[in-house]
Amino acid sequence: MNTPHVITEEQLERENIEIARRYKEMLKNTYVTLSDDDKKLIRKAFDLAVEAHKDQRRKTGEPYIYHPIAVAKIVADEIGLGATSIASALMHDVVEDTDYTIEDLEKLFGPKIAKIIDGLTKISVLNRQDISIQSENYKKLLLTLSEDVRVILIKIADRLHNMRTLDSMREDKQLKIASETVFIYAPLAHRMGLYNIKSELEDLSLKYTKPDAFFNIEHKLTETKIEREAYINNFCEIISEKLKAEGLEFEIKGRSKSINSIYKKIVNQGIPFEEVFDLFAIRVIYRSDKKNEKFLAWKIYSMITDLFIPNPKRMRDWISQPKTTGYESLHVTVMGPQARWVEVQIRSERMDEVAEMGIAAHYKYKENVSDDDTKVDEWIHQVREMLEQEDTKDAIEFMDNFKFNLYSKEIYVFTPKGDLHSLPKGASSLDFAYSIHSNVGDHCLGAKVNGKLFPLSHKLQSGDQVEIITSTQQKPKLEWLEYVVTSKARSKIKASLNSDKRKIADEGKEIILRKLRHLKVDFNENTVNQMQQYFKLSSSQDIFYNVAMGIINNNDLRKFAERNSGFTGLINRFRKSTFSTAKKEEVNVVDKSKLDSLVFGNDEERLDYELASCCNPIPGDKVFGFITVSKGIKVHKVDCPNSVSLQANYAYRIIKAKWIDSSQREFKALIEMEGLDRAGMVSDITLVISKNNSLNIHSINLSEDAGIFDGKITVSVKNKSELEKVMLDLKNIDGVQSVKRTYKN
């Protein structure tokens, strides 16, 4: 935030009027009905926040208080929390950015609000630290979040408003924050049942991590908006007439899929925007008492499938068995007019309220009540259990496991007594054993699934009845880690395996301290993380263990020390220079055909580098440099599949990279083609390629199956414009359906 230079009395008066207007707007549509005491609490928090932030401004130049008000409005309207959370949201930056302390707030507002703000303050401090591995921060962040579910929800609201106002940040900050958002906050919103917010976070993240793709889809959606709205209105009218004839009370809402979901479909299925057919989704929200909710849902389903043919593979019943977030709905995809797929979601008004507000609906009217028996609190308990396991020291692996458990689809299995357990899709008998109790998992021999004996690795299906067989002689084995997908099972297995290993590792730590001191290398977190990368080990404990066992010897440590000094120097050099200024680069029209060499940092230095094999950048592509531990600088495309992970986890090792016109250099590119086979197709393709004298052809591989051909052509080009020209020529060949550059070998 910035402090103002000169603010006139007139400007201050206008801003005060605007602050008052925004405050009233915030309270106007609160999800929870507020009592007089609630309103007094919120006003007290607002007055303190206004006073505390009075001399502070955002990057946009606006008064800083606009931000807390906006966060509180999201908390009140879009998430649906009550007075305690709204007051906490208004004051969420007070301790971090002003002279107020947690003790001050506890005296003024009590321990509950003070604890929530303390949790939010810890997260902000963690996010601003520049330590060696960003994912390690996330473990600490999640541990803080799990102290009170409202800390998670307010932090999600804070991040949503930051993403909505990200335009005011400089480009490198935008990329880091957007990557971090899609890496952790969107999955958290998903797990909290906040699907609208999750979709918006993903869309906004895509806007900054892959702007070309985002604006391309946005433009095409705008172009087709009138046609899509007419289609949805027509579809809804057909259903509406049928439901009215049955005397049902209902509302139908139509919408398009989110930009991010369309983008994922384009990438995953390898199809253009025009071939994404299921762009449409409608929601039928019916009025019902609790007793008849299920009956009416299936009645409406039957009526809709009488009108339109359903897709049997796209049926989802979350009414008979709700999601762990409490989400209830009946989903069916039907073939609508003009042979277009339309997803229809059927739910009652109560179900829709839970779907819109997620877990916040559980807090309606009961912010002062303990919700220890809710499914959400069970999940929060599991999070704490995961985080507090000592063996979760490999932060990247931890985050991958954690995200899997946030996003995974669910299956439902039964115990022999008929109790229902929810597990992620792909869970094994061993996962089920650990979900019952750690001791059951540790001593698990096998499982009877539907009466038949199966090994520990057997993947369970929804509806299975599972009986776990145990033995006191059984102990966890290393290969068990290959059988499980749940974080609880993995952490418990690792904890058991590491009990003996930990003692040896403690001895190894003492040894390594002495040896690094002799090599004049500081022993700190940064060094340990670099050693993990250098020796390709998953945790610091593995390093200490390998040193104690002699697997890593004196000579290995000496080589590390020599490389380490160069690596650290390179990082420090660019941390000071790269992105240190926020000045905008001048927009010049550049002839991409002359771009053929890379420079790095603000000073545009020439350094040794390698092109990353995961995305194979060529001149003209937007790129960045990533400082690796042992292989120098690797250059990635900005839209590389690994870009988000690198930005979120290692932002401090990202350096600016830029193509310039320097010397002649060729780059390999792989072109994939597909189309209808015909006589002369092969000769037409080879003729196009032979006409491009600038190309150096490495291989051509064409195959045909049932009248459809596909081909892979590997060429060397000097820059992106040359590649784009030959791809355009190939696409113009009669019968060719698609031509694209790919990164798969």
Chain-centre distance for alpha carbon 253: 27
- Annotated catalytic residue, options 62, 96, 293, 356: 96
- Start-to-end CA distance of the chain, whole Å, equals 47
Which run of H or of E encompasses 53?
A: none
CA distance 349 to 106: 39
Q: Whole-angstrom Cα distance, residue 24 to residue 30?
A: 11
Neighbouring C-beta atoms of residue 81, cutoff 10 Å: 28
Q: How far apart are CA 713 and CA 703, in angstroms?
A: 12
Query: With contact defined as beta carbons under 8 Å apart, do 607 and 657 qualify?
Result: no
Side by side, the strands of the sheet bearing 708-717 are: 696-705, 708-717, 667-676, 736-742
Cα distance between residue 114 and residue 103, in whole Å: 8
Determine the 3-state secondary structure of 6 from DSSP: coil
> In this structure, which amino acid lies at residue 425?
K
Indicate the DSSP class of residue 210. S
Examine the residue annotation and report whether 158 is marked as an active-site residue of this protein: no
Q: How far is CA 538 from CA 183, 498, 535, 558, in A?
A: 20, 13, 9, 21
Name the DSSP class of 551.
S
DSSP assigned state of 583: P
Active-site annotation holds for 96: yes
**Spatial distance between the Cα atoms of 85 and 154, rounded to a whole number of angstroms:** 7
Q: What are phi and psi of 41, to 5 degrees?
A: -60, -45
Q: Are 194 and 361 in contact (CB under 8 A)?
A: no
Q: Are 457 and 481 in contact (CB under 8 A)?
A: no
Strand partners of residue 125: none
595 CB burial (10 A radius; 0-12, 13-18, 19+): buried
**Cα of 306 vs its chain's centroid, Å:** 39
Residue with tokens 């303390």: 118
Tell me the sheet residues that pair with 636. 624
Give how far Cα 409 sits from Cα of 174, 191, 227, 318, 490, Å. Answer: 31, 11, 34, 12, 18
Residue whose C-alpha is closest to residue 279's, from 296, 294, 265: 265
Q: Is 161 left (phi over 0), alpha (psi -120 to 50) or beta?
A: alpha
483 three-state secondary structure? coil
The runs of H, that is alpha helices, within 394-473 are: 395-407, 429-436, 438-442
Q: How far out from the chain centre does Cα 743 lie?
A: 23
Active-site hit among 62, 97, 377, 467:
97
Write out the catalytic residue numbers.
96-97
